[in-house]
Amino acid sequence: MENPAQELIKSILEELKAIAKTETIVGEPITIGDKTIVPVCKITLGFGAGGGTGGAKDKGEGAGSGGGGGVAIFPAAFIVIKGDEVSVLGVKPGKWEYILEAIPGIIEKFREGKKGKKEKEEKTE
């Protein structure tokens, strides 16, 4: 009989194998016009598990185990195919986060600029 920690580790590894398959790293091709874009991701996995047995004279024997894991998936590059030409566009670390964080500010500036332009036009009428 396996101890509970070994069973737990096997279970976690099976789940991680399911996540870290080729389809997760090399995404589904997307066709836009005459170009096909294939996303490529970087995947980072980590886990830990442990267990033990023990007991006290007056309370009997016991066993316990625990485990946990984490997965992070980041865009790493895009393969761009146009006819016979193939190119790879790399994604710099942190660039996506910067772009996503900047979007609300860009939208607000666009709205302010549009509002200011409208007010200016109304004053000149």
Instruction: Measure the CA–CA gap between 3 and 11, rounded to whole angstroms.
Output: 13
pTM of the model: 0.49
Both tokens assigned to 88: 């790879």
pLDDT for residue 43: 83
pLDDT at 120: 62
> What is the model's pLDDT at position 13?
78
pLDDT at 55: 82
What is the gyration radius of the CA atoms in the chain, in angstroms? 26
pLDDT tens for the chain, 125 residues long, are 566 667 777 887 787 777 777 677 888 898 888 889 898 888 887 877 777 788 877 888 887 878 777 778 888 888 889 989 998 888 776 665 555 566 566 666 666 666 666 666 666 66
Q: Which amino acid is at 63?
A: A
- CA distance linking residue 38 with residue 46, whole number of Å: 26
